[in-house]
């Protein structure tokens, strides 16, 4: 079952249960997926759908930061609730151990020993963690911290 089909089923369930927030978030999510399908002029595969969902979560996290800095706790809480709903469709995030192992393996594979090879290491680590919801910032921080020489 594609992401759009799952979301459509959940929209129906949300309508029946009169869950306004969930309904609104699911409609917005389905709309984002449909717009990308229209742009690509073909149905999305699961990886493309996953990337869009990750982008939506990232946008919400940035909004939470901005609203919190602006003193709008009410809006920050609403965005945080939206994140929880969207994350239900994302696969589990990799554990700290999984990230560490992927980064180590990627560094060994790329033969990296300085920050100049950071891009190659991140790409290889992403490939090893494929199918998991990867936070790019966490991954790049781990790679940077591992490749930075300790003095």
pLDDT of 69-103, one tens digit each? 999 999 999 999 999 999 999 888 888 888 888 88
Burial 119-151 (b: 16+ CB within 10 A, else e): ebbbebbeebbeebbbeeeebeebbeebbeeee
Please give the domain boundaries of the chain with CATH numbers for all domains.
3-87 (1.10.1510.10), 96-147 (1.10.10)
Predicted TM-score (pTM) of this structure? 0.74
pLDDT in tens, 12-50: 999 999 999 999 999 999 999 999 999 999 999 988 898
């Amino acid at each position: 079952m594609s992401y759009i089909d799952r979301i459509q089923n959940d929209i129906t369930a949300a309508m029946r249960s009169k869950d306004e927030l969930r309904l609104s978030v699911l409609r917005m999510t389905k709309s984002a997926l449909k717009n990308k399908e229209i742009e690509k002029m073909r149905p999305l595969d699961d990886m493309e759908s996953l990337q869009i969902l990750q982008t939506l979560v990232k946008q919400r996290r940035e909004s939470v930061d901005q609203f919190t800095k602006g003193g709008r706790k009410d809006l920050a809480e609403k965005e945080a609730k939206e994140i929880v709903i969207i994350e239900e469709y994302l696969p589990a995030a990799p554990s700290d151990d999984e990230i560490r192992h992927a980064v180590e393996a990627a560094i060994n594979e790329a033969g990296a020993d300085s920050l100049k090879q950071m891009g190659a290491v991140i790409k290889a680590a992403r490939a090893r963690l494929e199918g998991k919801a990867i936070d790019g910032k966490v991954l790049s921080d781990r790679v940077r911290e591992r490749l930075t020489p300790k003095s």
